[in-house]
Amino acid sequence: MAHAGEVVDELQRAREAAEERRLVTSAADGSAAAFEQLYRRHSARIHALCLRMTGNVATAEDCTQEAFVQAWRNLPRFETRSAFGTWLHRIAVNAVLQQVRRRSESLGAGDSIEREVADVLADHATVDPGRSRDLEAAIAGLPPGARHVLVLVGVYGHSHEEASQLLGIAVGTCKAQLHRARALLGARLGGNGEEP
């Protein structure tokens, strides 16, 4: 039997989902005001994804912006059967991949950039910001392919099938990249980094 608190939470979630559907419908009909509300709801999550995938603060902002612009353009085709957040997440991954292809030489390169990303991300950590900073810097320093897989599978909880589809790679490649990412992180963080 559900507790009263759970029922209230469930009702709240249902209300929010209904409100989001309303906003999506309005935005698809051309309401920029509704789309701004969708931006306010989702920008932090999309930005965090872009930050981790690009390992670069400036590029992450570009990708976040691009993802929302692309979402606006494609909203009329969005099918409300799926969650808007999930759809937006996919668009953001594509935005990052396109940026990486254009600017691969300048992404995630150098300690200063890794530190900058790590500082931004660690400021939002709820558990031990100091250790989170080291982990975020190590993630930012991974090669792009390994970083993308680690972020999608390790941080955002996608299955290998989902991540491989998002990234346009084979499932086997996805698994190999995750293995590589873990090994590189382990080597970089050493004993201290692995301590829970």
Partner 1 sequence: MTQDERTPQDAAARLDARLRELPLEVAPGRDLWPDIAARIDERAAAVAPAASRPAWLWQAVAAVVLVAGSSLLTASLLDRNRPVQQSAVPAAPVNGMPAPEAAVMPAAFGPAGHLDPEYLAARTQLTQMLDRRMATMPPAARAKLEFNLGEMRRAADEINAALAEQPGDPLLEELLLKTYQDELAVLSNVSQLTNSLENAPVNTPANVPASPAGKRMQL
CB 116 within 8 A of CB 57: yes
Q: How many residues bind partner 1 (CB under 8 A)?
A: 51
| Contact between 150 and partner 1 per CB under 8 A | yes
Residue 111 near residue 66 (C-beta atoms within 8 A): no
Question: Would you count residue 187 as binding partner 1 (CB under 8 A)?
Answer: no
43/106 with CB nearer partner 1: 43
Would you say 154 and 181 are in contact if contact means Cβ atoms under 8 Å apart? yes
| E-state strands within the chain | none
Binding mask 16-35 for partner 1 (x = CB under 8 A): --------------x-x--x
Q: Is 78 in the site for partner 1 (CB under 8 A)?
A: no
Residue 185 near residue 142 (C-beta atoms within 8 A): yes
When asked if residue 84 is in the footprint of partner 1 (CB under 8 A), the reply is no
87 binds partner 1 (CB under 8 A): no
- Judged by CB under 8 A, the stretch of 8-16, 18-26, 59-67, 105-113 that binds partner 1 is 59-67
Q: Are 32 and 61 in contact (CB under 8 A)?
A: no
104 belongs to the binding site for partner 1 (CB under 8 A): no
Least separation in angstroms between residue 136's CB and partner 1 is 7
Rounded to whole angstroms, the Cα distance separating 150 from 154 reads 5
Q: Which residue has the tokens 């997440």?
A: 89
Nearer to partner 1, 7 or 44 (CB): 44
Q: Is the dihedral of CA 120, 123, 127, 130 positive or negative?
A: positive
Closest contact distance (angstroms) between CB of 78 and partner 1 is: 13
Burial of 81 (C-beta count, 10 Å sphere; 0-12/13-18/19+) = exposed
Which runs of consecutive H residues, i.e. helices, occur in 141-170? 144-149, 160-167
Question: Applying CB under 8 A, which of residues 26, 120, 145, 175 lies at the interface with partner 1?
Answer: 120
| Interface ranges with partner 1 (CB under 8 A) | 30, 32, 35-36, 39-40, 43-45, 47-48, 51, 57, 60-61, 64-65, 68-69, 72-74, 94, 120-121, 123-127, 131-132, 135-136, 150, 154-157, 168-170, 172-173, 182, 185-186, 191, 194-196
